[in-house]
Structure 1
Amino acid sequence: MKITLKNLLTFAAVLLLATGLMSFALRENVTKIYLIGDSTMMDYDKYREDYLTSMYPLSGWGQFFQELFDTETIASLGRLIHTDSVLVDNRAIGGRSTRSFFEEGRWAKVYQDLRPGDLVMIQFGHNDATLERPLRYVTPAAYKEFIRLYVSQSREKGAIPIVVTPVSRNFPWKDGKLENAHGDYYTAAVEVSEELEVRMIDLTMSSMALFQEKGEEFSAKNYFMNLEPGQYPNYPEGKEDNTHFVTEGAREVAKLVLEGMRGLE
């Protein structure tokens, strides 16, 4: 067959159409799970190029969420996921509250990418209460408003919002029992979920139960960033942090979130 400019253009057009159709088909067969939240959820490996040398073992539970979605797991979530594959898109980042995540334009980028059937997991609360940091701080009433916004705009795009109450800290402990550090913000998340009839994973209570079962000392040493001097080269003086997770703690919390998903209608 004689190769002409017309033939080449026709071939290029067909190739572009086929590529587009293939991409569309692949996207249609994938459910994206967007994670929006703070440092306890974020993927440090994604945001820190030097993670292994400067941040490790600091980890967020969202960092290990993708690895939980095998074929059997996806099939068990048939009420939520109607495709045969899942892609976790972790947009969480440290230091953000419901307010700052929105004001920095991070939510706008998620909103732009949302497609019908996607999931949006919303977990804030650790930074919203920081009165001394006005760029983060929101009152419990304003916290509710931002969660309402994330829920309503997710629904506008045909996505499925899921409110995740803030994961527990490993404090305060009183008389051998772990108490809820999130106070009115936990209550606000629960109330908005009930008000809007939106699915909710009570990660506050499930993580409290886990840490309570393991005990304060075990949880501190095995789940949280409590490091002995010299234990890790990048923390030569050690560290005391009962909010952020080491890799084992982050993985355990990711499992709690997945179990919470299985319990959703």
Structure 2
Amino acid sequence: MKINNLTRCILQRVSWFFFLLISTAVCADDIGPNKTSKTKIFIAGDSTAATYSQPDQQGWGALLGDYVDATKAEVINRARGGRSSRTFIAEGLWQALIDEVSAGDIVIIQFGHNDASPINDTTRARGTLPGIGTEAITINNLLTQQQETVYTFGHYIRKMVKDVRAKNATPILMSLTQRNLWQAGKLERNGSYGRWAYELALELNTHFVDLNNLVADKLEALGTEKTAALYPKDQTHFNQQGAQLHAETALAAFKGLRPLFNELLLNDLLNEKGAAVAADEMTWLRLPIPANNNLRSVVLIGDSTVRNGGGIGGNGEWGWGDFLQPHLNSKKINVVNRAVGGLSSRTFYTGGYWRRTLNMMRPGDVLVMQFGHNDNAPINDNSRARGTLKGVADNYEKIENQLTGKLETVYSYGGYLRKFIGEARARGIITVVCSPVPRKIWEGKKIARAQDSYPDWARQVALQSGSAFIDLNTVIAAEYEQLGAKKVDALFADKHTHTSKAGAELNAGFVAAELKPLLGI
């Protein structure tokens, strides 16, 4: 059969079309969510994550693979006992790991247990300079007999995050595992390195899992005897059961890293056992922890006017709690802003946020609370169900919560504040009640002040309980009136509720002025 020029041209174009179609399909399989290769989940860490075969010691990273679908994902545990962030890099362990990382993979980074070791000695020479600054020292390493420049913990973690992102992979920073060390019925939590990992996560906009405090809460609920059974070898290393507790807690936290969990389709990578682990819905908030265990803490609880979203100024909106620390002496006081946007006094208490906050506080700490903006919401609906009964009385109402589907007893605004105060006082914690900051609602040249409402009720609870009281509503409203409407507009990032950075800094100054005499600074 003869083929004329027109037919030949058509056949050539059809062939070229199918070639492009097949090539595109092949490429699509290699990248993006439809790639056929397994997602690799790497772990970089020390002995608390490493894999062991001995009965009295196992790292949590050795068990993480038990929760993933082996046909879709692979956990590659490169954690190595005895290593700090410095020696993990210096010995080439990090480079060997990063060479295997591909786009779309996940790298979990957890160091700190060994970073506090001596910087220079003849046994391990593994310590890092404390903190996340830019300090460095040059040493003649007594172990390697080589000159070496040693940097801060933050320097080494920054390098790891940078290297992972250069591969278009996702880094996740973690605080340390929990040691079996108790004092006065409470576990001694690992403060500095966990806090530095948290601060690095904020600085680098990296996902963060506070494994230390999550596990500590569970161990304290178990008690000293049952916890000791998980640590048969020493105070740091746990057995198989302890590793499982850490691994499941970590996985629950990973599930709460929105939007990461959905973006990477992590749920599709889990097997039946992994899918059964309930997500920890708080993880994405990256709530802070005390920076220094040797200092007392000022701990803040409240709504979005104290801490908005993940505390990174989304939509230009900031809470005053994010700017309190600069007003106080960081060498004497930790400021720990645990406020959560969208919550009322009721949902902060019932949602588990309060219990976690209380668990990390110690006698002598100061609890500062500010609620009210969301307490006026409906008591029962299928969206938030966060309202409280009005006033400060001891009344209550029993409901079948439309959101949770569970029976619930709802108390008054004052009732929930008293719960915070009573439970904190029982642990030797000093309590401070703030009236809610005012909204930018003008009545002529005056800021609207609600009568017989949350500001007054906050004052009443403070007086009844003997708590210190900071009348933010009155003081800040007076400041707004003095500044005038035009200048006050610049202090808000939305119509009338959420402050800009400048507004949050202004409000933080008023809080600090009232706290300093109480703190003796």
TM over 0.5: yes
Q: Which of 447, 459, 462 is matched with 1:193 structurally?
A: 462
Please report the RMSD computed on the Cα atoms of aligned residues, expressed in angstroms. 2.9
Determine the structure 2 residue equivalent to 1:257.
511
Cα distance, 1:144–1:86 mapped onto 2, change above 3 Å: same
Determine the structure 1 residue equivalent to 2:96.
none
Determine the structure 2 residue equivalent to 1:80.
none
Cα distance, 1:181–1:216 mapped onto 2, change above 3 Å: farther
List aligned pairs for 1:184-263, cutoff 5 A.
Answer: 184-220=453-489, 222-226=490-494, 241-262=495-516
Count, aligned residues: 217
Q: Which of 438, 445, 450 is matched with 1:176 structurally?
A: 445
Determine the structure 2 residue equivalent to 1:159.
429
- Does the Cα contact within 8 Å between 2:380 and 2:386 map onto a contact in 1? yes
Determine the structure 1 residue equivalent to 2:325.
66
List aligned pairs for 1:11-50, cutoff 5 A.
Answer: 29-42=294-307, 44=309, 47=310
Cα distance, 1:166–1:182 mapped onto 2, change above 3 Å: farther
Determine the structure 2 residue equivalent to 1:237.
none
Q: Return the alpha-carbon distance in structure 2 between the equivalents of residues 263 and 209 of structure 1.
A: 22
Q: TM-score under structure 2 normalisation?
A: 0.38
Cα deviations across residues 221-265 of structure 1 (Å, max 9, x unaligned)? x10014xxxxxxxxxxxxxx2110110000000001111223559
- Does the Cα contact within 8 Å between 1:42 and 1:90 map onto a contact in 2? yes
Q: Return the alpha-carbon distance in structure 2 between the equivalents of residues 183 and 136 of structure 1.
A: 20
| Aligned-partner residue type, residue 512 of structure 2 | L
Residue 65 of structure 1 deviates from its aligned partner by: 1.1
Structure 1, unmatched stretches of 5+, are 1-11, 72-83, 227-240
Q: TM-score under structure 1 normalisation?
A: 0.73
| Partner secondary structure for residue 504 of structure 2 | helix
Question: Larger relative CO (CA 8 A, sep 6+): 1 or 2?
Answer: 1
| Partner secondary structure for residue 300 of structure 2 | strand
Q: Which of 350, 357, 370 is matched with 1:103 structurally?
A: 350
Percent identity between the aligned chains? Answer: 29
- Does the Cα contact within 8 Å between 2:292 and 2:334 map onto a contact in 1? no
- Does the Cα contact within 8 Å between 2:328 and 2:516 map onto a contact in 1? no
| Partner secondary structure for residue 453 of structure 2 | helix
More helix by share: 1
| Partner secondary structure for residue 417 of structure 2 | helix
Structure 2, unmatched stretches of 5+, are 1-81, 83-112, 118-180, 182-187, 192-290, 393-411
Please say which structure displays the higher CA radius of gyration.
2
| Partner secondary structure for residue 333 of structure 2 | strand
Cα distance, 1:28–1:106 mapped onto 2, change above 3 Å: closer
